Amino acid sequence: MFIGNNLKIINMKKSLILTLIAMATLACTNQNPLLTDENTPYGVPAFDKYKLEHYMPAFKEAISQQKAEVDAIVNNPEAPTFENTIVALDRTGSLLDKVSSAFFNVLEADGNSEMDKIANEVSPMLSELSDGIILNEALFSRVKTVYEQKDALGLTPEQMRLLTETYKQFVQNGANLPADKKERLMQINQELSVLSLQFGQNVVAETNDYQLFITDEVRLEGLPESAKTAAKEEAVAAGREDAWLFTPKRTSFTPVLQYARDRELRRELLMAYITRCNHDNDHDNKAIINRTMHLRVEKARLFGYENPADYILADCMAHDAKTVDAFLQSVWQPSLAAAKREAAALQQLLDKDLPGEKLQPWDWWYYAEQLRRERYALDEEEIKQYFVLDNVRNGAFLLAHNLYGLNFEKLEGMPVYNKEVEVFKVTDADGSLIGILYTDYFPRAGKRPGAWMNDICHQYVDADGIDHRPVIINVGNFNKPAGDMPSLLSMDDVETLFHEFGHALHGLLSKAHYKSLAGTATPRDFVELPSQFMENYCYEPQILRTYAFHYQTGEVMPDELIEKINAASKFNQGFVQTELLCASLLDMDYHEMTTTDDFDVNAFEAASIEKMQMIPEIIVRYRSTYFNHIFTTGYAAGYYSYTWSAVLDADAFAAFKETGDILNPEVARRFRHLLEQGGTRDAQELYNEFRGKPADPQHHLRRKGFID
């Protein structure tokens, strides 16, 4: 009896402890906005309530929930079906989607060292979860059972696509590997996830660390007043009222390259930009590149591929490295020939200023600007006065209205992670909700370089038939307003804004039933089509007149200036295309590696550039040590996709031009249908359906001026 009473007391204590733990957990959950129904407008994240201490508990709970959801599928006593296995799997992880999208969007756009620490801790956890799902033998058995019955299930085309893509994802990510290889694959994936984060963090840190203070205003001769004002404001913010501050951020150093007469200043800033993370310091990325490529080669071998490129490209439109290599060479030679002609013309200008000197990479932008003025009487500083950021964005919105009937309404008082972020409600012609668009356009210390689009909330149709509309963000690094001057964009900036807005439309217009097929969930060499397609409209006269208003007078850009812009549209395209293709070829050289031996990154890069016979006056757009695209953001063996998609987008725009109406409603209807499909259809079939035939590369080469 004593023992029995003792056990009873112990059990009562256990019960009390468990109750207290449950109550504490519930209280913690209720206090964590990431783990509650936030009741925000349109279901957007409650960014204004999220704090650093919320993220890790939310990740742990979300990971636990998805594991439980997957276990429920695996342990379902019923026979595997499309609904209880394939669809059920697609619907898992809703909480993790919410937590991950909120955290990683803020990390990229407004991060800090504390968020970096969380990312470093959570990334291996997410990799382990992903591998645990994809390498779950019981789960794969259910998926495989359904897949083997696919022809007898009477599935719709989208359902068949979901089934085949799900099965393919399991196979391509190791489901058929033997146990020892599965274990090694998990180790590789976890390490790669950490290396990717470290690479990107180093680029941000190195970019932020470099500061060039100029105290002699004579050295700024030639710089526009807007650039000098911005540099002065940066210096004052850094505590130096006696100087002008320049950094390796593009908004800072590009005006110097383009306008500064001081050749040494141009050289110093360009070298600071292209040598980032290549200094044998704490931010050096060369060892990370070595380890990353070793692991990618090893991973490809686990699946029986000779190199990482063939493994990665198996699910793309190009399918293999041989096809990509042949494609790149087909556009490389005419691009390089054009670049050589351009270099010769710039050398002649340099000879007048500095007889006997050889044209260098830090001279190209400066003399290209001089030549543009000489040939076309075109001054980009004059053009920028008509490209006010808000007006350009409104022009992109109006274009989407004219093409697809969309309307944009700015929303006030929405939860945002930074006061510079703006939010817009997007509706269809009939007033129905299309989605929510966030824009975040200005550089800050915690923002990674470049411009991008992300899903904050995916579009999908739930089990009750409710269509959950997407929340999308466009992020950039454009010039901030300076003094009494608004944010004025360069022509490159305008193209970037339209480009990322094209990605946003791809996500916003999605009409998929399943999350994994929605929006931009397409092959990498297809996903740039919607974005690059929008660039075609930037400088069309009838489009320019809708957004190009002088920042002081409000007058529309005069026809004479519009004509100059279009007359110069093929100017310097050898340079533009060659630096892009050089990066693509470097990417492919990395991912066609077959060795896991250590290598010298700088020597490898130099050999790659020598092999392609790149002229020394042009530097590859992304040097290895800051090539975020291929080492952090998912474009490994995929940077070629910008040019591959350029062939598609030039051909797609030709479909409009051939009708004599660049806003042709019937062609626009067909292109909107393409955008709505997301990844629910085979990309090549989808494009052929829109165009009636495969894309003709002649349109791209003609647009660049490489052929008549």
pLDDT at 63: 98
pLDDT tier, 23 (very low <50, low <70, confident <90, very high otherwise) = very low
pLDDT at 25 over 50: no
Question: pLDDT tens digits for 543-596?
Answer: 999 999 999 999 999 999 999 999 999 999 999 999 999 999 999 999 999 999
Section 413-419 average pLDDT: 97
Question: pLDDT tens digits for 224-247?
Answer: 998 999 999 999 999 999 999 999
Question: pLDDT tens digits for 167-187?
Answer: 999 999 999 999 999 999 999
Which helix (H) or strand (E) element contains residue 455? Answer: strand 452-457
Cα angle vertex 700, ends 622, 678, to 5°? 75
pLDDT at 633: 84
pLDDT at 707: 83
- Cβ–Cβ < 8 Å for 332, 612: yes
pLDDT at 24 over 70: no
Q: Which long-range contacts (CB under 8 A, 24 or more apart) does 423-426 make?
A: 423/44, 424/397, 425/42, 426/508
Section 252-280 average pLDDT: 96
User: How remote is the C-alpha of 350 from its chain's centroid?
Assistant: 37
Task: Name residue, tokens 């012609």.
Answer: 429
Question: pLDDT tens digits for 67-110?
Answer: 999 999 999 999 999 999 999 999 999 999 999 999 999 999 99
pLDDT at 30: 57
Terminal Cα-to-Cα distance of the chain (whole angstroms): 101
The larger pLDDT score, comparing residue 6 to residue 678, is at 678
DSSP 373-438: HHHH---HHHHHTT-BHHHHHHHHHHHHHHHH--EEEEESS---SSTT-EEEEEE-TTS-EEEEEE
Q: Which of 234, 500, 528, 605 is catalytic?
A: 500
pLDDT at 3 over 80: no
pLDDT at 18 over 70: no
What's the CA gap between 229 and 441, in Å, rounded?
19
pLDDT at 463 over 50: yes
Section 402-423 average pLDDT: 98
pLDDT at 19: 42
pLDDT more than 70, % of the chain: 96
pLDDT at 243: 97
Section 339-347 average pLDDT: 97
pLDDT at 444: 92
pLDDT at 708: 75
The counts of H helices and E strands in the chain are 29, 9
- Cβ–Cβ < 8 Å for 490, 380: yes
pLDDT at 6: 40
pLDDT at 26 over 50: no
User: How remote is the C-alpha of 564 from its chain's centroid?
Assistant: 32
According to DSSP, the β-strands at 460-461 and 452-457 are unpaired
Sign of CA dihedral 384, 386, 388, 393: negative
500 catalytic, yes or no? Answer: yes
The rounded radius of gyration (Å) of the Cα atoms in the chain is 27
pLDDT at 274 over 50: yes
